[in-house]
Structure 1
């Protein structure tokens, strides 16, 4: 569940970041003008569109890299594919790649990127909801994490007693009806009913 929450937060941060990038695109940036030295055949364009529809960004980048400097549209597709690959794998480079997309394609690919991010965040939310539901009707279990305990049928305690010694943090979660849960470093170690 912690991973699902982290993924959701990363997705939201990336969405906010790219909205900012799209909003400032064109502000003081130098536009590199490419000359279209080659034409894209109908067959190749269909192949590229299929890769784009299937969200096969690795294959799209490979298909466009060879001639990306000979055609503006191929250049845009290549950098969009790299943007999406960075979105899923290395968010640090996402803004860099997006900024490389030629200006006349930024709005189009910006919309595609926003749609993809919304879908991704929705899937993370579904994952998080499923994780919460999984534990909602279950009582606390020894070995589960603090996050799982919060979503158990006992929910949040009305009081938490915390003891810190050296490198260890122990907690006693106090519930109604004389129920207690004991945690060491965020892991449930004992349950008292």
Structure 2
């Protein structure tokens, strides 16, 4: 993306890179959240175990794309006044809040943090759910055509419905 943006800005401009970086952040976040229903449905399958072991990697990759998305936005605005002018608009505020919730998750997505935080780690990482809602609302509010965001929100809702249903059914909390 960065290569295309720098080499061919007339063909791959700001609108493309901001949309693509946000899309990748959302898709990787969906993969991260989809791992739990997969694990609950297919516990012993090697591919399900592989996904489970890499769930944090997908989550961190999602954060990296979201951070890149933010950096691209900040570079485009290029002044603090312009950033603060947009800051409290709903489409931007939801994105800032989502990023603020994702930051501690990314920073603690390593084995050292898991050991140090013990049971608190899982409680902290449940922030992924409100952060995800904020991120997808940001997408829907800021998209040129929000239909794609709405479709993804529907898929995300289905993933979460299946996860909750499976956890209740299997009495997993």
Name the TM-score, length of structure 2 as normaliser.
0.29
Higher helix share: 2
Higher strand share: 1
The structure having more radius of gyration, on CA atoms, is 1
Name the TM-score, length of structure 1 as normaliser.
0.27
